[in-house]
Structure 1
Amino acid sequence: MIRNTTLSLLIMALSACSAPVTRQAGIDNSHSETEKTLQRELAFQSQVNRSLKAQRIGLPILRESASHCGSNTAPHLGLLAFTRAHFKGELQEAASKHWQLSDEYKIVEVFANSPASKAGLKPGDVVMRINNQAVTPSNYELRKLIAGPYTTGLPVPVDIMRAGEAQTLTLDMEVICNYPVNVVSSDAVNAYADGKAIYITSGMMRFTETDEELATVIGHELAHNQMDHIGKQSNNRMLGVILGAIVTVATGVDVTNLGGNMGAGAFSQDFEAEADYVGIYATARAGYDIKQAPNFWRRMGAEHPAGIAHGASHPNTANRYLALDKAVQEIAEKQTAGLALAPNLK
């Protein structure tokens, strides 16, 4: 009874709230649905454009750093191909319309200077067989289809349909670092790595002004994976938990979680500085002009003034600018001397 009375009083109070006083034109439901569909298509196109840009800029970095990624490499053909089945829900409708997809495995993008590009594959080609294996909706994972040729080093035959005509092209695979570049929907100006992939936010995609700036970001995140910073931080956290447990037993005050957090934070600034240093080498190896790379941190300082003089898990932007500027000079000297572009190790 009290609950019903309270609800009634709330409704009465809300009915006294101010309301708009203008008379606006009504919106037809069918027009609303049409506009929603259009906006979904525009949103999908925007997502696709950001993703393709990140992959296009990241591919040379992953390719030229393959020898620095140890055993974590993978074959790469340099193309994107989809069927309708790759997408679900509203995305399926938008993707199907954008690329005119069906149940056939259709190439939608071929990256420059890739095996697919060199072999003559083009967007719009329908892939029928890879390595003499039929491509079907239940069997369209490229890496599985090219696993055999990858281990033997043999070229990959690809059977396609182009404008109704069957053709067979041969691709020589390339090996790249096995850290795919992904764009995630977030307004935060951020990028991160998890030991398995590289993630760039849509906010960071908008913030970077040039291909070289985005390449600098991708190189930095690749370096986190190359140097196993995620694994090292995990080990440091575990060590902190163990030490915290020992202190907890000795004092009776539970500091286990505190110890874990302190362990995880150990050397975090040093790891970030190392990623800047190793990452700019990766960017340079890919052929990007890195002379203006340090300016990225000046712009980041202007965007986030609190980070100019102080940093918690990351070095401050002033020091990052200066350190990266020295790294750029170091790389320039090695290029002039004809030396390999590899970071200096302790």
Structure 2
Amino acid sequence: MTLIARLLPLLLLTAAAPAKDAAPAPGFFEALRAADLRLATIAYRLTTANAPLCDRLQPQVGMPIHALTQYGPGTRDAAAAAFGFESMIGVEGVVAGGPADRAGVVANDSLAAIGDLVLPGLPAANVPENAASRDVAEAAIADTPLRQVLRLTVLRRGQRQSIAVTPVTGCRSRFEILLGSGLDASADGSVVQIGERFFDGYTDAEIAVVVSHELAHNILRHRARLDSAKINRGLLAELGRNGRLIRETEDQADLLGIYLLANAGYDPMSAPSFWRSKGGMVDGGLFRSRTHASSKARADTLEAVARSIAANPVRPIIPPVVATRDVPLR
């Protein structure tokens, strides 16, 4: 059994009952850091390589951050010790070779300010669990003008220092691991969420297949376009026009996703391989929603696309489906 698998019950307990006084298991926080950094590294690679395909952009710095208040009061002291929190916002890790890494930011730095935005200090012990401060800090980074140096005020072992980070332009999206969601994945137009079980037994290339599919939904504005078309994604999702248009967006996300993979340097054949080897576990097999093609159909379609991509040396490839993002669904 892997470390993530052993720690999963505590992860779920912390998410469901943050006020409970439960001591973290050994290695809990490092396992959490490792999973978040894997996702951040995949996301950085996909968003920066595919910036030419995106009309909504943001600075990418390769620096997953978190707030101390994201941890329940019962585990907050342990989290503060493990992650070195000296203010509300901490640097959970840095993507190797990314802008933050090159500028000298290190894991367990704490952020006192992002540009002119002063960030809060350590919270009171009884503050309820919430991610509001993290969201404000992430928005400050995302809203920094493109190609502008990002100036961070960092606290490191009691010392305050200024670090200038030169971001890379990338597609605009946030990425989160969603605890308690198994192998689910979703995109709402601005946030991509991936279930925690993908980080136990799945390779980075396999996780990238799922992340690229969800990022494709955001790039193609599928959530907003389905809403504009008044599509029901609830109990009636599989019926009639609802099912047809949802299926259209899923097929488009599969198609764009494989180009996102290839542009980011992943083997495009990883997508059909994933759907053949792991698809049944992800989509429910015989019990899958009919708003998605079967794993076999997805693999067959994507294999043909992957072969055409492999024969094309141009990168990035901008496929025609990108031009549909402003076209109403009918």
What's the TM-score, normalizing by structure 2? 0.73
Structure 2: tracts of 5 or more residues without a match: 1-20, 124-132, 325-330
Q: Does residue 228 in structure 1 map to residue 221 in structure 2?
A: yes
CA 124–159 in structure 1, closer or farther in 2 if over 3 Å, else same: same
Q: Does residue 37 in structure 1 map to residue 23 in structure 2?
A: yes
Q: CA deviation at 1:260?
A: 10
CA 193–81 in structure 1, closer or farther in 2 if over 3 Å, else same: closer
In the alignment, residue 145 of structure 2 is paired with which amino acid?
T
CA 185–226 in structure 1, closer or farther in 2 if over 3 Å, else same: same
Q: Of residues 137, 151, 159 in structure 2, which corresponds to 1:142?
A: 137
1:254-273 CA-to-partner distances (Å, cap 9, x unmatched) read xxx96995332223323222
CA distance in 2 between counterparts of 1:44 and 1:114 reads 23
What SS is found at the alignment partner of 1:79?
Answer: coil
CA contact (8 A) 2:259 2:268 kept: no
Question: Paired residue for 2:98?
Answer: 114
Q: CA deviation at 1:215?
A: 0.7
Question: Paired residue for 2:317?
Answer: 341
In the alignment, residue 37 of structure 1 is paired with which amino acid?
A
CA distance in 2 between counterparts of 1:151 and 1:196 reads 18
CA 323–50 in structure 1, closer or farther in 2 if over 3 Å, else same: same
What SS is found at the alignment partner of 2:300?
Answer: helix
What SS is found at the alignment partner of 2:107?
Answer: coil
Question: Paired residue for 1:174?
Answer: 168
More helix by share: 1
Q: CA deviation at 1:92?
A: 1.8
Question: Paired residue for 1:322?
Answer: 300
In the alignment, residue 53 of structure 1 is paired with which amino acid?
R
1:57-91 CA-to-partner distances (Å, cap 9, x unmatched) read 122112222332313x2223322345634544234
What SS is found at the alignment partner of 1:37?
Answer: coil
Q: CA deviation at 1:235?
A: 3.3
Question: Paired residue for 1:54?
Answer: 39
CA contact (8 A) 2:52 2:316 kept: no
In the alignment, residue 176 of structure 1 is paired with which amino acid?
G
Q: How does 1:1-346 map to 2 (within 5 A)?
A: 36-39=22-25, 42-71=27-56, 73-82=57-66, 84-103=68-87, 105-131=89-115, 134-137=118-121, 141-143=136-138, 145=140, 150-151=144-145, 153-162=147-156, 167-186=161-180, 188-208=182-202, 210-237=203-230, 262-301=240-279, 303=281, 307=285, 312-335=290-313, 338=314, 340-345=316-321
CA contact (8 A) 1:186 1:202 kept: yes
CA distance in 2 between counterparts of 1:314 and 1:259 reads 11
Aligned pairs, number:
290
CA 295–112 in structure 1, closer or farther in 2 if over 3 Å, else same: same
Identify which of structures 1 and 2 has the higher relative contact order when contacts are C-alpha pairs closer than 8 Å and 6+ apart. Answer: 2
Q: CA deviation at 1:304?
A: 7.2
CA 183–158 in structure 1, closer or farther in 2 if over 3 Å, else same: closer
Larger Rg: 1
Structure 1: tracts of 5 or more residues without a match: 1-34, 241-256
In the alignment, residue 54 of structure 2 is paired with which amino acid?
C
CA contact (8 A) 2:183 2:197 kept: yes
CA contact (8 A) 1:127 1:135 kept: yes
Question: Paired residue for 2:10?
Answer: none
CA 305–261 in structure 1, closer or farther in 2 if over 3 Å, else same: closer
1:304-338 CA-to-partner distances (Å, cap 9, x unmatched) read 79737986111011111111111111111112xx3
What SS is found at the alignment partner of 1:55?
Answer: helix
In the alignment, residue 60 of structure 1 is paired with which amino acid?
R
CA contact (8 A) 1:236 1:266 kept: no
In the alignment, residue 62 of structure 1 is paired with which amino acid?
T
CA distance in 1 between counterparts of 2:49 and 2:157 reads 35
CA contact (8 A) 2:237 2:243 kept: no
CA contact (8 A) 2:186 2:192 kept: yes
Identity of aligned residues (%): 23
Instruction: Give the RMSD, CA atoms, in angstroms.
Output: 3.5
In the alignment, residue 299 of structure 1 is paired with which amino acid?
S
What SS is found at the alignment partner of 1:294?
Answer: helix
CA contact (8 A) 2:69 2:88 kept: no
In the alignment, residue 341 of structure 1 is paired with which amino acid?
I
